[in-house]
């Protein structure tokens, strides 16, 4: 088995030398300049920004007298089943977003997380799905909690 892999690798290297690499090496200096210009014009970050975003629906639900649940659904095809959703919290209007909780979706893409409320001020919450090869990092609507 190992000998077959080695033999296949050697044949691949030998055939690699037979492929027309002379086309690349015989290109003029002007052609190389054009190729370099095209490569720098499309950075990887620009390609990521063109990826579609996932649709994340969300809502806050009060359960009982002292429990608040932040829940929603990640829509799209293929389904976002059994994957991570980060719940981020921001304290106040100008605070930084920090991971508050991390949950997994159900088979249908639903998720839920219990959240709290501050004694004073407001806490803002949103759901975030990570970037993949097919989708960019996506966010839900922003919701806030407060105490009366």
Three-class secondary structure of residue 92 per DSSP: coil
* Measured distance CA(30)–CA(87) in Å, rounded: 51
**Fold of the domain spanning 55-145:** Immunoglobulin-like (2.60.40)
Six token digits for residue 97: 């977003």
The tens digit of pLDDT for each residue in 7-46 reads 555 555 455 554 433 333 333 334 333 333 344 444 555 6
Residues in the chain: 148
- For a pLDDT cut of 90, what percent of the chain falls above it? 59
What pLDDT score does 148 carry? 84
Domain residue ranges of the chain, discontinuous segments joined by + = 2-41, 55-145
pTM attached to this predicted model: 0.67
Q: What is the reported pLDDT for 79? A: 87
Residue 44 pLDDT: 58
Residues 97-110, mean pLDDT to the nearest whole number: 96
């Amino acid at each position: 088995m190992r000998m077959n892999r080695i033999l296949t690798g050697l044949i691949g290297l030998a055939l690699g030398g037979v492929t027309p690499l002379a086309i690349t090496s015989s290109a003029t200096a002007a052609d190389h300049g054009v190729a370099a210009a095209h490569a720098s014009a499309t950075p990887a970050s620009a390609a990521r920004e063109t990826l579609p975003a996932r649709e994340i629906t969300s809502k806050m639900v009060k359960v009982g007298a002292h429990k608040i649940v932040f829940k929603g659904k990640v829509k799209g095809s293929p389904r976002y089943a059994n994957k991570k959703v980060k719940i981020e919290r921001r304290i106040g209007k100008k605070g930084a977003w920090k991971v508050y909780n991390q949950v997994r979706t159900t088979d249908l893409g639903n998720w839920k997380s219990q959240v709290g409320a501050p004694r004073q001020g407001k806490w803002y919450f949103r759901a975030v799905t990570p970037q993949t090869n097919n989708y960019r990092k996506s966010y839900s609507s922003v919701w806030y909690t407060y105490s009366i």
